[in-house]
Amino acid sequence: MQVFAGRYQLVDVLGRGGMGDVWRVWDLRDGVYRAAKLQRQADSASLLRFVRESATRIDHPHVVAPTGWSAEDDTVLFAMPVVDGGSVAVLLADHGALPDTWVAVLGGQLLDALQAVHAAGLVHRDVKPANLLLEATGTGSPVLRLSDFGIAASPDEPRLTRVTEVLHTPGYSAPEARAGADPDPRQDLYSVGAVLTELLTGERPPATGSVSPPAGPFAPVLERLLAPHPDDRFPDAATAAVALSAVPVSEHGGEPVEVFSHLPDWPPGWGPSGPVPLAPPAPEAAKRAGPPRTTWAAAGLAVVGAILLAAAVVTGLR
């Protein structure tokens, strides 16, 4: 069984992406499972993003904070909590447009998270469904966790590389960000408007041009979030959250929205509370214990690996 940097025992692959794989690991020191992003030190720009992300620690119930990082040979690993319910992108794929009540709750949690991010002096810059992870709460009330601070930036810091400046996801990024403006928290508010519109319509925002919010109770809030000029948006996430919470929403009928667990089954030798002793290997068991990578990867779905989708999409842009 492979142990990384003497601390993280690799269990199975949760997802694969352009920048590296996300593994479920067993943290030998703390005795818990974590999700770990592994990356070979490919080039300075991607390493910079990686280190930046691992240094971003915002302690908030709706933010996924890295728990630590390690390096071994030419590979770096950074660990974070396992978030088991996939991403909002998966939720949209499964359910299409979401009921108003879900839009209000998810939007409120996202704005709370951004308030903490902005208070820490950062702009996330890549707010989109694939970066909004969910706890597997079933048909209960959702719990959103904002992730992937790979291209987060501070409005004050000097620009480190041009590379980080062009990384945006079309459709979700504010017009001024696309035009190369310096990071500004209100760019994240625009992205919130694009995401909430997608939650309401089930349609991805167009890669070019502007997002037009659907008519309905959310329209006034969405129009302000999506204002082309940052001065016309809400001044900050807190103000936007107050406005969103004042939108009257009605319950919907029909089947409940459900956030499934997207974690793969436990591989042999592992269980909910850590390593489990294997029975003396019968020939049958030995056969089944073959390389599990492909199977787990296929079952891995978005899970925490959704983080890496950002990297893949970004890869596609460059």
Q: Which is nearer to another protein, 53 or 184 (CB)?
A: 53
Q: Which is nearer to another protein, 7 or 293 (CB)?
A: 293
Tell me the closest approach of the beta carbon of residue 138 to another protein, in angstroms: 11
Tell me the closest approach of the beta carbon of residue 260 to another protein, in angstroms: 4
Which helix (DSSP H) or strand (DSSP E) does residue 40 occupy? strand 32-40
If phi > 0 it is left, if psi is from -120 to 50 it is alpha, else beta; for residue 153 that is beta
CB 267 within 8 A of CB 249: no
CB 91 within 8 A of CB 259: yes
Q: DSSP 3-state assignment of 166?
A: helix
Q: Which is nearer to another protein, 12 or 112 (CB)?
A: 12
Tell me the closest approach of the beta carbon of residue 12 to another protein, in angstroms: 12
CA 67 to chain centre: 15
- Which positions lie near another protein, rule CB under 8 A? 15-19, 42-43, 45-46, 49, 86, 89-90, 92-96, 128-130, 202, 204, 254-255, 257-258, 260-262, 297-302, 305-306, 308-309, 311-316, 318
Q: Which is nearer to another protein, 67 or 315 (CB)?
A: 315
Tell me the closest approach of the beta carbon of residue 232 to another protein, in angstroms: 27
DSSP string computed for 213-238:
PPSSTTHHHHHHHT-SSGGGS-SSHH
- How many Cβ atoms sit within 10 Å of the Cβ of residue 24? 25
Tell me the closest approach of the beta carbon of residue 39 to another protein, in angstroms: 9
CB 28 within 8 A of CB 317: no
Among 311, 287, 259, 290, which Cα is nearest to 15's?
Answer: 311
CA 183 to chain centre: 19
112 catalytic per annotation:
no
Q: Which is nearer to another protein, 236 or 258 (CB)?
A: 258
Residue the block writes with tokens 């352009």: 18
Give the pairing type, strands 20-27 and 3-4: unpaired
Q: Which is nearer to another protein, 81 or 86 (CB)?
A: 86
Tell me the closest approach of the beta carbon of residue 116 to another protein, in angstroms: 26
Q: Please provide the size of the chain in residues.
A: 318
If phi > 0 it is left, if psi is from -120 to 50 it is alpha, else beta; for residue 229 that is beta
What does DSSP assign to residue 304?
Answer: T
Which residue of the set 12, 100, 126, 184 is catalytic?
126
Task: Tell me the catalytic residues.
Answer: 126
